[in-house]
A = this chain, B = another copy of it.
Amino acid sequence: MEPIDPLAPLTPPEGGDHEDSIDRIRRAWSSLRPEMDTSVVGTIGRIIRASRHIVMLSDEALEQFDINRGEFDVLSALRRSAVPLTASELARSLVTSNAAITKRMVQLERSGLAVRERDDRDGRVVRLTLTPAGVDLIDVAVPAQLAFEESVAAVIAEPRREQLEETMRILLAELERRTAD
């Protein structure tokens, strides 16, 4: 199982932009193993690294609301849903385990931001809803989070940004197809 395109050249950093950690990693590999095609880390590797940075920074931004990213994801999913979600539905929609949803809901109930209620029709199911305090919090936290993300994305000017969105939709759709089994 070898890389597909055997001799791709290292793309040099473009225009006025600076070298990043991925350029350095690829340069190191290319001096050790010049025949190895590492071009794929130029896209996939950067997506993984960038995501780590964004998540770290946005976790800091969420501290002001005394919630972490897991709780933010639960609160905003419940807020934007027209109907109360079940634990499993929420787990699927957030690409996480049921156990994680239970933990987060325990914490959110302690903080008075959300509640779990047994379904009348099916006693196995719990329906998750926000409390008024939860609604108030997330209605401030979501715009703050969007503003933070916008401050990051601001370095990407049109038409790059539009292209990025289209390309990432193609990629994410493929990944979600794979994970669907």
Contacts and interface: CB of A to CB of B under 8 A. Distances in A.
A2 interface: yes
A41 B161 CA distance: 11
Contacts of A19: 173
Contacts of A29: 80
B165 A43 contact: yes
A interface majority secondary structure: helix
A29 B54 CA distance: 22
Copies of this chain: 2
A155 B163 CA distance: 15
Interface in A26-77: 28-29, 31-32, 36-38, 40-57
B80 A4 contact: no
B3 A146 contact: yes
B150 A40 contact: yes
Interface in A81-111: 81-82, 93, 95
6 contacts: A17-B170, A21-B172, A31-B82, A53-B175, A160-B166, A164-B168
Given A25-B80, A36-B146, 19 more contacts: A3-B143, A17-B169, A17-B170, A20-B176, A23-B169, A28-B82, A40-B146, A40-B150, A41-B146, A41-B149, A44-B153, A45-B149, A46-B165, A47-B47, A47-B51, A47-B54, A50-B168, A51-B51, A53-B179
